[in-house]
């Protein structure tokens, strides 16, 4: 949203309609925008880390006044791609920010069962990457850490690792029940005593930059906007079936053409077994 991705675009992606920039091919909440300069979110853990290093190295070769940024959780640091990416970044002097959200849990696996190191920041130091640990529940601390890290990455052509310590108060997904592997009291403590949004709101209110009236108006306005964009996204058609076979090859090979023809024929023969809002063209 900060870069300019609109609420309607978020809704279009979640519904996978004809206005979804990903053409309905991605899971919900896997956004991306070439115009706004960020890659599509990818589900496989940590695959984005070496990709970000490659993008950063390209920026360095083109002498761009910019850096790449990649985000991952503590579980991502247990993947080989994390270690490969960190080493490549250090050796190549790639201007990239590695931002790790260490929330203590990789789904149901706590950090204590993932590694014996003192968190994640020390892993960056082991690869020769300048690293810092920051309170991930302090919005201002994160802002200034990232701002300074970006300056170093761009001006000095070096990777920076930021470990933001936080906590996941919600379930990992709708199929996850986190009360099975951690106590309700622990979750409640972090939700009520360490909530970063409430913390920032108290800071703003203490400086008289915000109040309950503005809070209520903002929430009402956003709720109205959300209901509108969701209704609009739901009413739009899905991308055409032919989109399944495009955007990989410059010239579609014969085997994919045959697969498309076969798919069109099957859907045409059994229309009741396929969504009616997906055009066949």
User: What pLDDT digit, counting tens, does each position of 198-234 carry?
Assistant: 999 999 999 999 999 999 999 999 999 999 999 999 9
The DSSP call for residue 274 is S
The predicted model gives 70-94 an average pLDDT of 97
Q: Identify whether the C-beta of residue 246 lies closer than 8 Å to the C-beta of residue 252.
A: yes
Query: Which of 172, 215, 170, 222 minimizes the C-alpha distance to 195?
Result: 170
> How do beta strands 68-73 and 105-106 pair?
unpaired
Q: So what's the pLDDT on residue 280?
A: 80
Instruction: State the Cα–Cα distance between residues 94 and 91, nearest whole angstrom.
Output: 8
Report, as an integer, the average pLDDT of 146-154: 98
Which pLDDT does position 57 carry in this prediction?
98
Alpha helices in the chain (DSSP H): 7-15, 48-61, 80-92, 121-126, 139-156, 184-193, 196-206, 212-235, 254-269
pLDDT for residue 275: 85
Asked if the model's pLDDT at residue 277 lies above 90, the reply is no
Q: What is the pTM of this model?
A: 0.91
- Residue 279 pLDDT: 85
Measured CA to CA, the distance from residue 170 to residue 79 in angstroms comes to 23
Q: Where does the pLDDT of residue 146 fall: very low under 50, low under 70, confident under 90, or very high at 90 and above?
A: very high
pLDDT surpasses 80 at 182:
yes
Quickly state the pLDDT bin for 276 (edges 50, 70, 90). confident
Instruction: Report the chain's mean pLDDT, rounded to a whole number.
Output: 95
Please name the residues in contact with 201: beta carbons below 8 A apart, sequence gap of 6 or more.
210, 215
**Contact present, 5 and 13 (Cβ < 8 Å):** no
CB 24 within 8 A of CB 17: yes
Quick one: CA torsion of 56, 60, 61, 63, rounded to 10 degrees?
Answer: 140
pLDDT of residue 141: 97
Average pLDDT over residues 136-161: 97
DSSP reduced 3-state for 281: coil
Q: How far apart are CA 111 and CA 19, in angstroms?
A: 40
pLDDT bin (cut points 50, 70, 90) of residue 166 is very high
Q: Give residue 173's pLDDT band: very low, low, confident or very high (50, 70, 90).
A: confident
Q: Report pLDDT for 59.
A: 97
Residues acting as catalytic residues: 168, 172, 181
Closest CA to 74 of 120, 42, 128: 120
Interval 12-29: pLDDT, tens: 999 999 999 999 999 999
Taking a C-beta distance cutoff of 8 angstroms, is the pair 102, 73 a contact? yes
Long-range contacts of 49-53 (CB under 8 A, 24+ apart): 49/76, 49/79, 49/81, 49/82, 49/84, 49/85, 49/86, 49/98, 50/81, 50/84, 50/85, 50/88, 52/85, 52/96, 52/98, 53/85, 53/88, 53/89, 53/92, 53/94, 53/96, 53/159
pLDDT exceeds cutoff 90 at 278: no
pLDDT for residue 56 is more than 80 = yes
Give the model's pLDDT for residue 226. 97
Answer yes or no: are the C-beta atoms of 248 and 260 closer than 8 Å. no
On the question of pLDDT at 281 being above 80, the answer is: no
The model's pLDDT over 92-122, given as tens digits with 9 standing for 90+, comes to 999 999 999 999 999 999 999 999 999 999 9
* Secondary-structure breakdown of the chain: helix, strand, coil percentages, each rounded to the nearest 5: 50, 10, 40
pLDDT of residue 255: 96
- At 160, the pLDDT band (50, 70, 90 cuts) reads very high
CB 86 within 8 A of CB 46: no
Q: What percent of the chain has pLDDT over 90?
A: 91
Q: For residue 42, what pLDDT is reported?
A: 86
């Amino acid at each position: 949203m900060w870069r300019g991705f609109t609420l309607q675009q978020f809704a279009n992606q979640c519904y996978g309609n004809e206005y979804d920039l990903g053409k309905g091919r991605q899971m919900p909440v896997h956004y991306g925008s070439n115009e706004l300069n960020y890659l599509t979110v990818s589900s496989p853990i940590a695959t984005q880390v070496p990709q970000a290093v490659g993008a950063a190295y390209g920026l360095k070769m083109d002498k761009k006044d910019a850096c790449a940024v990649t985000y991952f959780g503590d579980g991502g640091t247990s993947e080989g791609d994390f270690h490969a990416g960190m080493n490549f970044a250090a050796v190549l002097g790639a201007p990239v920010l590695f931002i790790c959200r260490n929330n203590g849990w990789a789904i149901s696996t706590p950090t204590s069962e993932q590694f014996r190191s003192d968190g994640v920041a020390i892993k960056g130091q082991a690869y020769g990457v300048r690293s810092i640990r920051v309170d991930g529940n302090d919005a201002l601390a994160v802002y200034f850490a990232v701002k300074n890290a970006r300056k170093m990455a761009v001006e000095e052509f070096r990777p920076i690792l930021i470990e933001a310590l936080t906590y996941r108060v919600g379930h990992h997904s709708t199929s996850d029940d986190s009360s099975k592997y951690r106590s309700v009291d622990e979750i409640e403590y972090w939700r009520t005593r360490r909530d970063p949004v409430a913390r920032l709101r108290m800071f703003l209110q203490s400086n008289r930059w915000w109040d309950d009236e503005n809070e209520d108006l903002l929430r009402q306005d956003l709720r109205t906007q959300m209901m509108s964009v969701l209704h609009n996204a739901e009413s739009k058609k899905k991308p055409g079936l032919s989109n399944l076979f495009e955007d990989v090859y410059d010239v579609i090979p014969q085997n994919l053409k045959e697969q498309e023809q076969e798919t069109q024929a099957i859907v045409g023969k059994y229309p009741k077994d396929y969504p009616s809002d997906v055009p066949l063209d």
